[in-house]
Amino acid sequence: MPITNAMVLAAGLGTRLRPITDTLPKPLVRIAGKPMIDYVLDLLAAAGVTRAAVNVHHFADQMEAHLRRREAPRILISDERDTLMNSGGGLAKGLKLLDDGPVLVMNADLFWVGEKAGQPCNLQRLAAFFDAGRMDMALLCVRLEDTTGHNGKKDFSLSKDGRLQRYEEGMENPVVYAGAIAMNSRLFADAPSDAFNLNIYFDRAIARERLFGLMLDGQWLTVGTPEAIDDAEALVRRFEPGG
């Protein structure tokens, strides 16, 4: 069964992308002519998501105006104008707009290209991989060599049985977190109502041996600085039809 609900984390300030983000929210920065958040929402729609909560804070009016023009998925705004909730708090607040049950979570500024045609996409694979009986969360992960714009940091070590641990030097099979999660929204039923970092839940799941990872197919990119835009655009265009 596809997962039809999603949460997109889009409220960050994008400070490393200044001066671009002095007048524009980071998710609306265009890569090869297309706002980053639209790459993310298109990936979700292609995977069968019909409703997506999106949190807004930085230039929230611009975000809302842009998102109103989308037909799919249906967008629900989680308004953080008054208080920025950080990644965990923002997710907990946004989940309240969605039905209880399985949900996909994505960052608005992290996406990928180059999925294999005719095969299940990464988000469909992640949804099928997630097993609430064994897992708190399933994270989409990527090899360092399949990233563009990344700072080189290795986030986790992926074991043969699919479990994730925080990466420490010398561990085998290091991977980068690709910014997509499959989980059950009930995991956040007891979440704090104030701002907190999502890493708290990652570490809690690791301690319970319930954080799992699935490897991404394709090429993943992140745009952290203005200088990273050219590399990101070159990668996107390489995978466009005729590129």
- CA–CA gap between residue 226 and residue 240 (Å, rounded): 22
pLDDT score at 242: 53
Query: Which residue, chain included where needed, has tokens 């990668």?
Result: 235
* Model pTM score: 0.94
Determine contact, residues 222/109, Cβ cutoff 8 Å. Answer: yes
The amino acid at 154: K
pLDDT digits (tens, 9 = 90+) for 164-176: 999 999 899 999 9
**Rg (the chain; Cα; Å):** 17
pLDDT score at 241: 65
pLDDT digits (tens, 9 = 90+) for 27-75: 999 999 999 999 999 999 999 999 999 999 999 999 999 999 999 999 9
- CA–CA gap between residue 203 and residue 208 (Å, rounded): 9
Spatial neighbors of 147 by CB under 8 A, at least 6 apart, are 176, 219, 220, 221, 222
Determine contact, residues 43/22, Cβ cutoff 8 Å. Answer: no
Domain edges within the chain: 5-239
Q: Determine the average pLDDT of the residues in 77-104.
A: 95
Query: Which residue, chain included where needed, has tokens 């992640």?
Result: 126
The amino acid at 128: A
- CA–CA gap between residue 78 and residue 180 (Å, rounded): 18
What mean pLDDT is reported for the chain?
95
pLDDT score at 117: 87
Query: What SS3 state is found at 72?
Result: coil
- CA–CA gap between residue 191 and residue 160 (Å, rounded): 31
Give the domain 5-239 fold.
Spore Coat Polysaccharide Biosynthesis Protein SpsA; Chain A (3.90.550)
Query: Integer distance in angstroms from the first to the last C-alpha of the chain?
Result: 34
